[in-house]
């Protein structure tokens, strides 16, 4: 049975269309109440489902925020504890190195001060004592009539000459004594300088300890804020984590560029070692071998940094005793040095292969131009060998930004997840509200399709409402006439 057979209820298509319209309108009008309930129930179910989903996502967002806060505080607490531990280790080293020598320093200062005091006592200026016979001269000068006596004059002349000689000797002795005192004072200068240098060193050590104590106080304040889970600490840690993420990502991008250059430096000569035509899983074996060498170098760099306790990506390595850890440092450094030497050799081999390829292309050309070897090729060869030797050690330091990137990635992923959940909550609520208000729109569309029966129903209701009003008006008029 075709569609035309079903549609053509009457011989005329137009009449059949009106007949179907009348039938459908009648059916839809009869089912109007139940259809409205079904539409409202369906939209209400979807709206409630969206609202419950948004509520569940909001709870997940809350848990994610708590998780992000806990991760931030844990990372900040561990980083602060590590910094405080390092500061205390430095203070301990300073105390053991400098303050442990203070008893000997105190003894040295005491000896220097005693020596200075002795030299000072010896350099005390003692004026020469006057000669004892000055009183005798004074007594002779007071003898009555001594001024006219020639004997007394001769005696006084002799005494005068003796006094000149005595004065000369006293002056020379005084000069010698002053020179000796000046030498003693001059000998005191090295002791003063040594004491001054010692005290300056002591002051420097004390100031260093004071500065470190101020730094520790600042870190302890940050640690207390983290322990108190303050909002300021969370904001600071979040900002610091985002900064570390972008900086470490930038440094890792630079390291990837260095790894690519290193790969291109050794991929071609590796084809001569492992075969240029062999493939492994669809890739050239030489390229895979070069990539493996670079990855091994990065792994050795990670282990070296972990053994030196610069990074903490592998707690098991950091927990090794000092003997095994130092042994591991030398082993990883030896492997890294060997790989660097291998890369330097591969870089030299690459330059030779390039020269052979250039010579081969020149021989295959038809013009037969002779290849002229440049005298500056050794510069290129030395540069490639230097890059092949240095790049493995440069890739060793990738462990530092990698650790920062891994730790900050957790925070960044948490922030992105929270933003995604908030967007999902907004989308679910928007969808629920749209579905909720679309129910009224669907009801209006439904009523628009059956507008004819609804119009008839409306007119009937108006007439039914108008009939009682008319009767009431007539009764009111009759009552009025009866009163007249």
Please report the DSSP string for 332-366 in residue order: HHHHHHHHHHHHHHHHHHHHHHHHHHHHHHHHHST
Phi, psi angle pair for 230, to nearest 5°:
-75, 155
Q: What averages of pLDDT result for each successive group of 10 residues across the chain (484 residues)?
A: 55 68 78 83 88 90 85 79 76 68 65 64 55 56 57 67 72 70 64 69 73 77 75 76 87 89 80 66 76 88 87 80 87 90 81 66 58 63 81 87 86 87 91 86 82 78 74 57 44
- Report the alpha-carbon distance of residue 368 to residue 345 in Å, rounded: 32
Using CA atoms, how far residue 213 sits from 87, 208, 220, 223, 409, in Å, is: 9, 9, 10, 15, 33
Q: What's the confidence (pLDDT) of residue 427?
A: 92
Q: By the 8 A CB rule, do 1 and 429 touch? A: no
Q: Which residues pair with 284 in a beta bridge?
A: 279
- Report the alpha-carbon distance of residue 469 to residue 463 in Å, rounded: 10
Q: What's the confidence (pLDDT) of residue 237?
A: 76
Number of neighbours of residue 203 by Cβ within 10 angstroms: 10
Query: How many CA atoms does the CB half-sphere of 74 hold within 13 Å?
Result: 10
Q: What's the confidence (pLDDT) of residue 330?
A: 92
Q: What's the confidence (pLDDT) of residue 250?
A: 92
SS3 assignment for 365-416? CCCCCCCCCCCCHHHHHHHHHHHHHHHHHHHHCCHHHHHHHHHHHHHHHHHH
Q: What angle do CA 187, 191, 193 make, to 5 degrees?
A: 115
Which tokens in the block code for residue 411? 């925070």
Residues in the chain: 484
């Amino acid at each position: 049975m075709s569609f035309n057979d079903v549609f053509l209820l009457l011989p005329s298509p137009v009449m059949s269309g009106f007949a179907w319209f009348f039938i459908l309108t009648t059916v839809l009008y009869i089912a109007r109440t139940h259809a409205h309930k079904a539409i409202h129930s369906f939209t209400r179910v979807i709206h409630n489902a969206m609202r419950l989903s948004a509520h569940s996502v909001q709870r997940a967002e809350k848990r994610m925020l708590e998780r992000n806060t806990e991760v931030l505080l844990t990372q900040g607490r561990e980083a602060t504890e590590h910094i405080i531990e390092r500061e205390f280790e430095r203070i301990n080293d300073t105390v053991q190195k400098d303050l442990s020598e203070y008893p000997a320093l105190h003894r040295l200062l005491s000896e220097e001060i005693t020596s200075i005091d002795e030299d000072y006592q010896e350099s005390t200026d003692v004026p020469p004592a006057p000669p004892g016979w000055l009183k005798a001269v004074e007594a002779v000068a007071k003898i009555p009539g001594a001024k006219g006596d020639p004997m007394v004059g001769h005696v006084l002349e002799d005494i005068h000459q003796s006094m000149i000689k005595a004065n000369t000797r006293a002056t020379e002795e005084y000069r010698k004594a002053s020179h000796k005192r000046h030498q003693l004072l001059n000998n005191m200068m090295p002791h003063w300088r040594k004491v001054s240098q010692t005290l300056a060193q002591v002051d420097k050590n004390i100031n260093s300890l004071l500065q470190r104590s101020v730094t520790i106080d600042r870190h302890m304040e940050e640690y207390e804020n983290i322990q108190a889970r303050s909002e300021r600490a969370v904001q600071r840690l979040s900002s610091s984590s985002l900064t570390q993420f972008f900086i470490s990502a930038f440094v890792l991008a630079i390291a990837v560029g260095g790894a690519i250059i290193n790969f291109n430096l050794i991929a071609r000569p590796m084809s001569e070692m492992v075969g240029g035509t062999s493939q492994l899983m669809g890739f050239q074996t030489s390229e895979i071998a070069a990539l493996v060498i670079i990855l091994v170098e990065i792994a050795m760099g990670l282990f070296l940094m972990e053994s030196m306790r610069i990074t903490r990506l592998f707690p098991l390595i950091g927990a090794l005793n000092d003997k095994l850890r130092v042994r591991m440092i030398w082993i990883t450094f030896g492997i890294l040095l060997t790989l660097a030497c291998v890369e330097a050799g591969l870089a030299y081999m690459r330059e030779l292969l390039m020269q052979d390829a250039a010579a081969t292309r020149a021989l295959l050309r038809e013009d037969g131009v002779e290849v002229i070897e440049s005298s500056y090729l050794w510069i290129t060869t030395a540069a490639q060998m230097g890059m092949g030797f240095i790049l493995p050690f440069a890739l060793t330091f990738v462990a530092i930004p990698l650790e920062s990137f891994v730790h900050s990635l957790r925070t960044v992923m948490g922030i992105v997840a929270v933003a995604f959940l908030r967007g999902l909550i907004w989308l679910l609520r928007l969808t629920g509200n749209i579905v909720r208000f679309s129910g009224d729109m669907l009801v209006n569309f439904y009523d628009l399709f059956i507008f004819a029966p609804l119009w008839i129903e409306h007119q009937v209701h108006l007439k039914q409402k108008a009939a009682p009003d008319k009767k009431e008006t007539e009764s009111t008029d009759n009552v009025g006439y009866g009163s007249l």
